[in-house]
Amino acid sequence: MKTLAPWIFVGPAVVAVIVFLYGPMIASLVLSFLDWNLLSPDVGFAGTRHYQAVAASHDFRLSAWNTLLYCLVLIPAQILLPLGFALMIHGVRGSRMGPIYRGALFLPTIVAYSVAGVAWSWLLNPVNGLFNEVLSALGLPRSRWHTDPQLALLCVSLVTFWKSFGLNMLLWLAALTTVPQSLIEAARLDGARPRRIFFNITLPLISPTAFFIAVTTLFSVLDDIVGVVDVLTGGGPAGSSSNLLYYLWQQGLGFFQFGQASAVAMILIVAVLLVTWAQFALVERKVHYE
Amino acid sequence: MTSLSRRSLLVSGAAMIGAGLLAGRARASDARLTISSIWGADKPFQKVVDAFNAKGLGVTVENRFDGDYETATAKALAGIAAGKEPDLMITGWKFGYFARRILGARDLREINSARVNAIMANFRPSLAPLVTIDGALIGLPWAMSTPITFINSVLWAEAGLSADLPENPDTDWLYDAARKLDAALKGHATYRSALALSNNEWTSQSFIQNAGGFIIDPNGKLALDSEAARLGMEAYCAPAHEGLWLPVSGKEQDAAFEAGALAICTTTSTRAVAFPQGPAKAITAKFPGLPGHARNMNSGGNFLAVYTKNQERAEAALTFLEFCASAEGQKIWSEVGYLNTSTHEIPLINEFMKPAEAQLVDGLTAETIWPGKRGLEGQTIWRNWVSRMLTKDVSVADGLKQASAELSTVLAD
């Protein structure tokens, strides 16, 4: 009974992980080497053909490059800017405005992607969107925003950031509240400046949260961008705002090319695993768990 | 104020439950069909469904909103794979090959040729080829649109342009008007852009066909390497290159036009339901032809296809199609703003539909139905190349050449 009890507790979670995570991953791996479609009983062995087709695809390469750019821009932004906001809100804790600032900054996170996409397409509409009206009022040239191939990626990144930075901000804020004020006060009495207090006291104490945010932000950035791209640009113009996850979705559920979609999924899984492994190998040793 | 005793409450409650049970028993003998559709309960299609159900013909249909054409098609595919196919589906014209070859849309004549011939007799004979794929009649051609020109009459008048629109406008006239609008209205309170020809894979087809060419010719072969295709695409891209047209998505174009910021837009004739009622006070004209070339306009929209493999349910589906094809069904359906493809005398919902009706009378081709297993991908490839040509990322000649090369590979699969 003693050995059974833990399994009763973790059983549902284990089943869910197997059914919804490892099962689909293994299915994707298998499908990436097969010629198969939903409606045909015929299954053929494709070898590495789907991987070769994907590698040869201009759209895949463009999506991969865009994904790299997204990550390079969004991951640091999604970690550092929410920390900045959290520090500012933490600084005004106890004031009446604190909860209002916190609520206002967190609000975009709970907005549905479809709503966010529609709202931003009104704001960014190149013909008569609010942003262009403001630019005109200031005597500045109007922009084509997300319909300009040069700007589409940036626009989608900005909207994604706006939509999802609130969660990291809350996590940072929760971590900051765990830092004992007595340590901060003592450091201040010893003449330490705010910058020194932050790097020598606050950051080490919140480093477990920092590590958690660093790891999970990679996943959330990849996940969040799909909804925004789908609603705002559809990957366009001419693929300029597409990314690997959107490309995967398009291949699988848009074009029903399950073999190629599965190949992209496996490439993405391997890439994310490598990055996560690197994060654990290089960053985790700097985390203070005590 | 009537007092409610416990007894009367029990009696009336029992009566209601009994009535419900009896009605339930009566309904249990009905065939209950699911229609996967792109319209929710707030759209006129629901009125068609409700009117049919109210007739109590022993068939009950349920309108299941499944999103846009692409999403509905994906859901249908998943449903078919799971053995739970929709009985009927609103299928985009552009998915014709996919519907027949992959999803297995039924040949209606195989279900019951006598009934289907009687149903099709309600439609103009010229439409049958549009819903005939690989020799199989796969749907009811009841939802047909065509791109036409919408003009913001307020801006038009302010720019001093004549409200007498030509019966057969061409690009010379349209682009000249756009230039005049731009010159006259810069700095105007609401005016922001002269022209939009968006929804690019559809309207680019119109330009190519009006130049005498095809994207895919009647024999199903890619035809983008023709002189006519080049001419059509150059005329299509010219206003974007000149700065008269800001290429935006159809959604953004509609929002801008409805807000009165856009002077001219070419889009689906179904917008005749809404555009003239908004601040733009739209007036309509035919889609622009190309000077010196015979017009050859394309259609758009969707058809009603039967997917159920069960013969009894397929027969029940025909009962619904009979109603859709009837004068009564068509009259309700006409509120959507599609063209009257039937032989019934159905008045146009408003005068703004006249140019679309005239294009139908002139004759319409199908919108591009992308062939091959990877046809849906073909549509996206073409859309992307059109975008590149519009933004001068590539010249028209090179864009057509490269689009043709990429499409050849995909469509050969």
Q: Are residues B290 and B322 in the same domain?
A: no
Q: Are residues B248 and B383 in the same domain?
A: yes
Of the listed ranges A139-143, A218-222, B173-177, B395-399, the least confidently predicted one is: A218-222
Q: Which residues of B touch A249 (CB under 8 A)?
A: none
pLDDT digits (tens, 9 = 90+) for B276-290: 888 889 999 999 999
Task: State the Cα–Cα distance between residues B126 and B359, nearest whole angstrom.
Answer: 13
Domain end (from B343, B364, B385): B364
Give the mean pLDDT of B17-44: 69
Tokens of A126: 């190149």
Burial class (CB in 10 A: 0-12, 13-18, 19+), B305: buried
Residue B205: per-residue pLDDT = 95
Give the pLDDT band of residue B1 (cuts 50, 70, 90): very low
CA distance B71 to chain A (A): 8
Cβ-Cβ pairs closer than 8 A, A with B, add up to: 85
- In a domain, residue B101? The reply is yes
Q: Are residues B325 and B293 in the same domain?
A: no
Of the listed ranges A26-35, B245-254, B293-302, the least confidently predicted one is: B245-254
Cα nearest neighbour of B68 on chain A: A254
At residue A2, φ and ψ (nearest 5 deg) are: -60, -40
Residue B11: per-residue pLDDT = 55
pLDDT digits (tens, 9 = 90+) for B52-85: 999 999 999 999 999 888 888 888 888 888 888 9
Contact call for B256 and A236, based on CB within 8 A:
no
Residues B104, B136 contacting (CB under 8 angstroms): no
Does any CB of chain A come closer than 8 Å to the CB of residue B380?
A: yes
pLDDT of B371 above 90: no
% of chain A with per-residue pLDDT over 70: 99
Q: Which residues of A touch B191 (CB under 8 A)?
A: none
CA-nearest of B402, B247, B195 to A236 is B247
Task: State the Cα–Cα distance between residues B37 and B304, nearest whole angstrom.
Answer: 9
- In a domain, residue B16? The reply is no
Of the listed ranges A15-19, A65-69, B3-7, B323-327, the least confidently predicted one is: B3-7
Give whichever of A108-112, B182-186, B233-237 has the largest mean pLDDT.
Answer: B233-237
Give the mean pLDDT of B19-36: 63
Q: Are residues B254 and B390 in the same domain?
A: yes
pLDDT of A285 above 50: yes
Q: Are residues B344 and B394 in the same domain?
A: no
Query: Nearest Cβ partner of A144 from B81, B246, B376?
Result: B246
- In a domain, residue B336? The reply is yes
Q: Are residues B294 and B334 in the same domain?
A: no
Cα nearest neighbour of B251 on chain A: A121
Residue B77: per-residue pLDDT = 86
Q: Which residue of A114, A256, A260 to mutate against B (max B Cβ within 10 Å)?
A: A256
CA-nearest of B144, B175, B98, B154 to B359 is B144
pLDDT of B242 above 90: yes
Residue B24: per-residue pLDDT = 44
Q: Are residues B135 and B108 in the same domain?
A: yes
Q: Which residue of A39, A120, A124, A128 to mutate against B (max B Cβ within 10 Å)?
A: A128
Cα nearest neighbour of A125 on chain B: B252
- In a domain, residue B14? The reply is no
Buried b / exposed e along B317-345 (16+ C-beta atoms within 10 A): bbbbbbbbbbeebbbbbbebbbbbbbebe
Q: Are residues B351 and B304 in the same domain?
A: yes
Contact call for B251 and A237, based on CB within 8 A:
no
Domain of B349 in residue numbering reads as: 31-145+300-364
Does any CB of chain B come closer than 8 Å to the CB of residue A122?
A: yes
Residue B311: per-residue pLDDT = 92
Task: State the Cα–Cα distance between residues B76 and B83, nearest whole angstrom.
Answer: 10
pLDDT digits (tens, 9 = 90+) for B332-358: 988 888 898 899 998 888 899 999 999
pLDDT digits (tens, 9 = 90+) for A83-102: 999 999 988 888 888 888 88
Q: Are residues B315 and B252 in the same domain?
A: no
Residue B16: per-residue pLDDT = 56
Q: Which residue has the higher pLDDT, B5 or A68?
A: A68
Mean pLDDT of chain A: 89
pTM: predicted TM-score of the whole model, two decimal places: 0.85
Residue B29: per-residue pLDDT = 54
- Token pair 């933004």 is found at B391
CATH number at residue B126: 3.40.190.10
Q: Are residues B304 and B256 in the same domain?
A: no
Does any CB of chain A come closer than 8 Å to the CB of residue B103?
A: yes
At residue B194, φ and ψ (nearest 5 deg) are: -80, -40
pLDDT of B3 above 60: no
Q: How many domains does chain B have?
A: 2
pLDDT of B22 above 80: no
Q: Are residues B97 and B35 in the same domain?
A: yes
- In a domain, residue B359? The reply is yes
Mean pLDDT of chain B: 88
- In a domain, residue B22? The reply is no
Give the mean pLDDT of B373-385: 86
pLDDT digits (tens, 9 = 90+) for A1-50: 678 888 899 999 999 999 999 999 999 999 999 988 777 778 889 899 99
% of chain A with per-residue pLDDT over 90: 45
Q: Which residues of A touch B254 (CB under 8 A)?
A: none
- In a domain, residue B24? The reply is no
pLDDT of B26 above 60: no
Q: Which residues of A touch B261 (CB under 8 A)?
A: 127-128
Does any CB of chain B come closer than 8 Å to the CB of residue A189?
A: no
Q: Are residues B119 and B129 in the same domain?
A: yes
Give the mean pLDDT of B309-327: 94
Query: Nearest Cβ partner of A127 from B70, B192, B387?
Result: B192
- In a domain, residue B335? The reply is yes
